[in-house]
Amino acid sequence: MPKAGITPRAQDYSQWYLDIVREADLADYAEIVRGSIVFKPTGYAIWEAIQSGLDLRIKATGHVNAYFPLLIPKSLLLKEAEHVEGFAPEVAEVTRVSGVELAEPYVIRPTSETIIGYFYAKWIRSWRDLPLLINQWANVVRWEMRTRPFLRTTEFLWQEGHTVHATEEDAERETLLILHDVYGDFLENEMAIPVIKGLKTEKEKFAGALRTYALEAMMQDGRALQAGTSHNLGQNFAKAFDITFSDQNNTIQVAWTTSWGVSTRLIGALIMVHSDDEGLVLPPRIAPTQVVVVPIYKNEAEKVSVMATVARLTAEWKGRIRFKVDGRDNLSPGFKFNEWELKGIPIRVEIGPKDVAKETVAVARRDRPGREGKSFIPQAGLTEHLIELLADIQQSLFTKALKFREEHTFFATNLAELQAAVEQGFARCYWAGSKEDEQRIQTDFKATIRAIPFDQPPTPGPCVLTGQETTQQVIFARAY
């Protein structure tokens, strides 16, 4: 039974997504600021959980955090030709202050390669200064044409890593380290989102990059969402910003740089991968609250004994389970059950007079909504049971998402199959086409090459478009 206020996915997937955002109280429209949202406390708490999981991994791989200015002199942005061209349409400028025209306008950063490049050129003198491994948590502004809460907003929050290396190999190793050990590990193990990792085509790569690697996830409507990118910038930015160093032989060398980022879009991915028609579903490792306790009583005497039991049981949870007790007196238990399901709390524990008498509790798991996911278990050993259950929910969410992706991925040998596949999910196929061919597929089928996956076949086959023999397979999909 779908919740009041939530459009079923099958009826209108876009509307379902917006309903979840509103009903789970994640965000509010900042209708006075075009394309912007307010991250409400529940939505921001999810971002904080994402931040802490990523920050841990970013630091574990040797990076440190810093912060660079929001405003970038316009002249700096213009230094890398391909980069300018890529971002020009979506850059906002500050041209006047107090009514007076500025001698040189500033742009609000759409990303920080340019201003960071300027400072890196100042800071780096010797091979001993390398590698330089810095990350920043920041907001950026891109004036996109069409916005959607979390998935694409005018201003968004993200982290952007910017590193400098002495050799091309080092830069490439860094780019892949981030892709696998930071993003891939975090997405799959913390967010329970299975990803396809691979290389972007020339058409899809970051403006100014040598090559771009990305992680692509499948949403429940079969569309792809780029969850993160890691760019090997080669020497393009180093040349434009004069990032050079003296090597061991005292020869001046141009450095190699990388950049990589994930954004608050991940919250959108989280919603679209796991949630259902009952509301939000949060993986336990990301959920700001993992267990909610709903006490049940109908008079003061029952309240006293129930709350005593709640206090005794939850005392053991501190430091092991993130939980809260819903002590609101004005709402019925049934209302609370529905509300916490809507908000995606992984486990609900109900404790009433019968449980006090029988030394049991009712435990409901969110990944199986309604009464179906509810069982009565003894109070003895409850803490361990809940911890195991959280791990089980985490695992089953990942397994379910992976199964969905596999069931919606099809191998295409011709254009008709390719079209049919991208209407359902991902199309995997041999590809030897040009950039123009890729554009044609996009025009005809609304699908783009999301990735050239790392796992490639041992044997060649005919290109889905040209028929030419090739060993390269790609993933086509409609994308967010």
Partner RNA sequence: CGGGGCGUGGCUCAGCCUGGUAGAGCGCCGCGUUCGGGACGCGGAGGUCGGUGGUUCAAGUCCACUCGCCCCGACCA
| Residues 14 to 53 in contact with RNA, rule: CB under 7 A | 14-15, 17-18, 29, 31-32, 34-36
The CA-atom distances, in angstroms, between 419 and each of 150, 409, 416, 436, 449 are: 28, 12, 5, 18, 13
- How many residues make contact with RNA (CB under 7 A)? 73
Nearest CA-CA partner of 349 in 336, 362, 359, 334: 362
Q: Which residues pair with 156 in a beta bridge?
A: 140
Q: Which of 4, 103, 252, 416 contacts RNA by CB under 7 A?
A: 4
Site for RNA in 277-306 (CB under 7 A): 296-299
Burial class of residue 447, CB neighbours in 10 A (0-12, 13-18, 19+) = buried
* Shortest Cβ 298–RNA spacing (Å): 4
Residue corresponding to tokens 């790569």? 205
* Shortest Cβ 30–RNA spacing (Å): 7
Structure tokens of 327?
């002590």
How many angstroms from the chain centroid is the CA of residue 329?
37
Site for RNA in 82-101 (CB under 7 A): 86, 89-90
Buried residues in 348-374 as b, exposed as e (16+ CB within 10 A): bbbbbbebbeeebbbbbbbbebeeebe
Residue 53's SS3 state is: helix
* Shortest Cβ 249–RNA spacing (Å): 38
Q: Which residue lies nearer to RNA by CB, 96 or 298?
A: 298
Contact call for residue 80 and RNA (CB under 7 A): no
Contact call for residue 435 and RNA (CB under 7 A): no
Report the distance separating Cα 84 and Cα 86, nearest Å: 5
Site string for RNA, 96-125 (x = CB under 7 A): ------------------------------
Contact call for residue 329 and RNA (CB under 7 A): yes
Site for RNA in 173-232 (CB under 7 A): 206, 226, 229
Q: Which of 80, 172, 190, 341 contacts RNA by CB under 7 A?
A: 341
Contact call for residue 385 and RNA (CB under 7 A): no
**Segment interacting with RNA, rule: CB under 7 A, options 43-51, 365-373, 389-397, 415-423:** 365-373
The CA-atom distances, in angstroms, between 444 and each of 168, 174, 397, 429 are: 38, 37, 34, 17
* Shortest Cβ 124–RNA spacing (Å): 26
Q: Which residue lies nearer to RNA by CB, 411 or 480?
A: 480
Site for RNA in 444-463 (CB under 7 A): 446
* Shortest Cβ 382–RNA spacing (Å): 13
**Before 131, cis peptide (omega within 30)?**
yes
Q: Which residue lies nearer to RNA by CB, 237 or 337?
A: 337
- Phi–psi pair at 284, nearest 5 degrees: -55, -35
